[in-house]
Amino acid sequence: MKIPKLLLSLAAAAFLPSCATQYSVTPIPKNTAKSAYQDGMARLCSVKRNGVVIGPTSQTLGPEKQKEFLVAVQNRTSKAFDFDTVDVQVEYYDAVKNVTTKSKVYSYDELVKIEKTRQAWAAVAGGLAAAGDSMSAANAGYSTTSGNYHGNTYSSYGNTSTTGSYTATTYNYAAANAAQSAARDRARYNANQIAAQGGANLDYLSALIVKRETVFPGKHYGGIIKFETPPLANGGKLRFQVNAGGDIHVLEFDVAKK
């Protein structure tokens, strides 16, 4: 099956690996599944009546629960079919525990809801931070001085010695206004950053995440799926079952601790 390079390169936005434990991902060729690499990225291609290509979006997997894989289908028949995330099932086999766990595959709508919830909480946190900053700025104009005093008073009745302490509070309007202006600027900047990041995240989901699509004869469709796995521990296998217009393609990847 000839898979367009665009579909094989959808993972350009992969995250850089961190210092946390990383896992290599190696395709396991068997039955109709054949291994292939594109720019060092592991892929599996399977051809029956219709075709499927699948692979990770980065050269390694991290410890985070959500994983990303590229999946693309090609309609090689004369009949159109719909394709969505419900047509992809994922399982993870833990080689240490000898346990297989079915993974949650997120739909586009679910991911959008998660992102909007994240944005709402980020806005609340930003608002609380701005309120605290504003309160601190309002107090910036106050200054307090204190000290001790000692004095002698002379009169016809004799010498009187007086000692004590004092505290004085003053308010600098210019300093307070400058601090409050800076606080407002920070609040606006943070709010804009939250909105911009949220917009970028939604744009990413809209552009790359698999959504329901009708795949017409001779055409192809592909995108990113996000799914949740249990801890990868010391390694195991990721097993994908992809329904492409009634064809069931089973594709597996070996996951090994680096």
Tens-digit pLDDT profile for residues 177-198: 776 777 676 667 666 666 677 6
Average pLDDT over residues 39-60: 89
pTM tops 0.75: no
Average pLDDT over residues 25-34: 92
DSSP designation for 223? E
* Structural domain spans, the chain: 5-112+209-257
Identify the CA nearest to 31 among candidates 251, 242, 253, 254.
Answer: 251
Q: Work out the percent of the chain whose per-residue pLDDT is above 90.
A: 36
DSSP-assigned letters across all residues of 67-93: EEEEEEEE--SSS-EEE-GGGEEEEEE
User: Is the pLDDT assigned to residue 17 strictly greater than 50?
Assistant: no
Confidence of residue 44 (pLDDT cuts 50, 70, 90): very high
What pLDDT was estimated at residue 155?
A: 59
The domain defined by 5-112+209-257 folds into Immunoglobulin-like (2.60.40)
